[in-house]
Amino acid sequence: MPATAVSKTATRHDVLSRMIDEELLVQHALDSGAAETSPEVRAALVRSAITRVNAEAAAAPIPDRELEDYSEHTAHCMRRQPASR
């Protein structure tokens, strides 16, 4: 097997090993109740959830009709507000 093939195989094995270790640690944290009792763990979970939701929202396309409705609504609201001095 060429050196690059061995290197790729070793890298894949390392990545897979780290993924397994991470999953085992997550399962241990959940089983031990750390998600419910540790403020640090809860904060990390919240940050992760926010990041995921934001990424999903950013990736979702906005339909043209929804953009048009929003634009019309915003324009209507702006016309109704008196100018501030």
Nearest Cα neighbor of 44 from 60, 29, 61 is 29
Q: For residue range 9-62, what is the model confidence (pLDDT) as tens digits?
A: 889 999 999 999 999 998 998 899 988 888 998 899 899 999 999 999 999 998
C-alpha span between 29 and 40 (Å, rounded)? 12
In the prediction, which pLDDT does 84 show?
A: 62
User: DSSP secondary structure string, 2-27?
Assistant: -HHHHHHHHHHHHHHHHHHHHHHHHH
